[in-house]
Structure 1
Amino acid sequence: MNAPQTGIDSWTEFLIDKEVPVLRHTVHAMDEARLRLERINVREIADIALHDPMMTVRVLRFSAAHRGRRQLQDISTVEHAVMMLGVEPFFQHFSQFDVIEDHLRPHPHAMLGLLHVIRRAQRAARYALDWATWRCDLNSEEVAIAALLHDLAEMLVWCFAPERALRMQALQKAEPTLRSVDAQQAVLGFPLNELQALVCAKWELPELLLTLMDDASCEKPRVKNVKLAVDLARHSAHGWDDPALPDDFRAIASLMNIDEDTLRNRLGLKSEDQAEQGGDDA
């Protein structure tokens, strides 16, 4: 895994031709689904892909590369991509996979780091989908996919440059107040969001998804939906006592136009009143 030493352009070229591996669970699910080829529907196939950010980006990347000349709009959801390709051709193309667990077997600590980011992305996607549905978003799957892929570049670095990812992780462990972007700058020479924008543009991923993943556009409600879901998943990754969470709760409640106790209940948490009563009982 000879990653470039410096330069965001070199890193972009290094990543864009990579065959993105997928989770072993995804391979097993695809094999099982292939056995039901005559009975399986597009939604079921999309659900398999959407459980795995790496599979999701593979589908969208393939769809973008094979879009027809008459296709005026980008395909921004997995379900639409499968529908346009057709079930049988989908399984014909997506029949062979590199497996993440095999790919990173020589780097077990990097495997754990990548799985942590993937689980965080899965949680962010669930939050984003729930809130978008609550807000009557006309296409909530787009919002969920944007949250799922928000930290795609971080996943790619864990996959294809595990030593660099481990160095960034070590920097932040040694200095817990160090911001992620500063660790990225120190190890790579650039922030990962800039690398991600370049890689996604080279892969011609849908412009709408790139906008939804762009935190700089968070004055737009759909982008804010994505950002807050990603923030909540990140801040709660190690428990619900992170000092950033109260600000997250306020912002999410405002976005959804509900009070914070209702939000906490939706998240499966005790309301502040319940927490105080529990403390008094103790």
Structure 2
Amino acid sequence: MIDEPLSSLRAWTQAFSDAEIPVLPGSVAEMAQLHAIEEANGSVDAHTLADSFGNDPLMTLKVLVHVSRMCMRQSIEPPEALVGAIVMQGVGPFFKAFASTPDVLSWLRPYPEALSGLLKVITRARRASNFALRFAVHRQDEDVMVMQEAALLHDFAEMLLWCHAPKLATEMARRQKADFHIRSADIQNEVLGIELVDLGQSLMQHWHLPELLRQTTDDHNAHHPKVRTVMLAVRLARHTQYGWQDPHALAALPDDIADIAQLLTLSNDAARRLVEGLDNVQPSVKPIQ
């Protein structure tokens, strides 16, 4: 575990680039069940696997990193979505590659506060993914699935921080809770010496993840409609993570709604009704397991 801030963005990237990525306990259990089914009758395919693990951002990240490294060795472009990554490696090699994957419950057992913090980020990521999907469909974007995946993975660096630097992540959460008016980026610089968005981009580049996925998670390209779709979904999920009537949400929502309305070419009232309706019906978001 990392207990003290590292010296630079490069040092953080090196520390996380080869670090283990634990996944949700439900993913580990699902893996064992599907592996047994595959060995018994060979009926498991890539779509079944993607449907089973697509709501676990850590498992999604783990698979994409593994396949991107494989593609880099073969000098080919990595697939942009989870199902394509599974197809590329094959069902049998998939089970072999991830047979001994650790789960976050065991990984963070000595750090219950960190486990709670991680699960909150994952819940937020799932909501962001749902918002991004609906925004992209409304815009009739051709890269709907990639944008949904980009929103799910947008905050993966924070998830890894909870897993590998739980004390530092807990300190950041404590400062944010003490004063919601402080920018998250300022707290990250104070505690870590870097911003997590920069760490995320650095890691994605180091891992050679798909270019479109890197672009749509890069907040520095906020002028691009695809990036704005993901950014606004992530922003909305973050601001409303404690409910629509939370003081922090009430303060932030007018700007969020105005920006979403502009992106979707809706009135502010119509945009507000749309996002609140999406949060009440979330077929793509499963309970944390």
Q: TM-score, normalised by structure 2?
A: 0.87
The one-letter code matched in structure 1 to 2:239 is H
Match of residue 146 from structure 1:
150
User: Which of 229, 248, 267 lines up with 2:256 in the alignment?
Assistant: 248
CA drift at 1:112 = 0.6
CA distance in 1, matches of 2:33, 2:22: 18
Show the counterpart of 1:280.
none
> In 1, distance between residues paired with 2:219 and 2:198?
12
Instruction: State percent identity of aligned pairs.
Output: 39
Aligned residue number for residue 225 of structure 2: 221
Distance in 2 of aligned mates of 1:237 and 1:221: 24
Alignment counterpart, residue 267 of structure 2, candidates 259, 264, 270: 259
Moved more, 236-245 or 35-44: 35-44
* Bigger Cα Rg: 1
Task: Give the letter aligned to residue 258 of structure 1.
Answer: L
Q: Secondary structure at the match of 1:36?
A: helix
For 1:109 and 1:232, the matched residues in 2 are separated by 24
Instruction: Report 1:41-60 matches (<5 A).
Output: 41-60=45-64
Once the two structures are superposed, what CA deviation does each residue of 1:176-216 show, in whole Å capped at 9, x if it has no partner? 31111111111111111122222222212112211111111
Answer whether contact 1:4 1:11 (CA < 8 A) is retained: no
- Structure 1: distance between partners of 2:260 and 2:26: 32
Aligned length: 270
Does the CA contact (< 8 Å) of 1:4 and 1:14 recur in 2?
Answer: no
1:10-89 counterparts in 2 under 5 A?
A: 10-37=11-38, 38-67=42-71, 72-89=76-93
Change (3 A) 1:235 1:132: same
Q: Is the 8 A contact 1:22 1:54 kept in 2?
A: yes
- 2:12 is aligned with what amino acid? W
Q: CA RMSD in A?
A: 1.9
Unaligned runs of 5+ in 2: 279-289
State the one-letter code of the partner of 1:253.
A
> Alpha-carbon deviations, 1:188-245, whole Å to 9, x = none?
1111112222222221211221111111111111111000000010011011131111
State how far apart, in whole Å, the 1-side matches of 2:6 and 2:72 are.
Answer: 37
Measured in 2, the distance between the counterparts of 1:12 and 1:255 equals: 33
Alpha-carbon contact 1:4-1:10 (below 8 Å) kept: no
Task: Note the alpha carbon deviations across 1:14-69, whole angstroms, 9 max, x for none.
Answer: 11111100000111122222233222332221122221111011111011111177
User: Deviations along 1:157-188, whole A, 9 cap, x unmatched?
Assistant: 11100000111111222223111111111111
Look up the SS of the partner of 1:67 in the other structure.
Answer: helix
Say which is worse superposed, 104-113 or 242-251, in terms of deviation.
242-251
Q: Is 2:5–2:193's contact at 8 Å kept on the other side of the alignment?
A: no
* SS of match in other structure, 2:71: coil
Q: Partner amino acid for 1:17? A: D
Task: Say yes or no: does 1:135 pair with 2:135.
Answer: no
Counterpart CA distance in 2 for 1:19 and 1:180 is: 25
Tell me by how many angstroms 1:269 deviates.
4.5
Partners of 1:64 and 1:74 within 8 A in 2: yes
Deviations 1:76-108 (A, max 9, x none): 110111111122221222211111011101010
The answer for the alignment partner of 2:284 in structure 1 is: none
SS across alignment from 1:267: helix
Check conservation: 1:3, 1:11, Cα contact below 8 A: no
Rate the CA distance shift 1:115–1:138 in 2: closer, same or farther, 3 A: same
* Aligned with 1:191 (options 155, 175, 195): 195
The one-letter code matched in structure 1 to 2:47 is R
Whose relative contact order is higher, 1 or 2, with alpha carbons under 8 Å and at least 6 apart?
2
Question: Which amino acid in the other structure matches residue 6 of structure 1?
Answer: L
The amino acid that maps onto 2:17 is I
Q: Does 1:173 align with 2:177?
A: yes
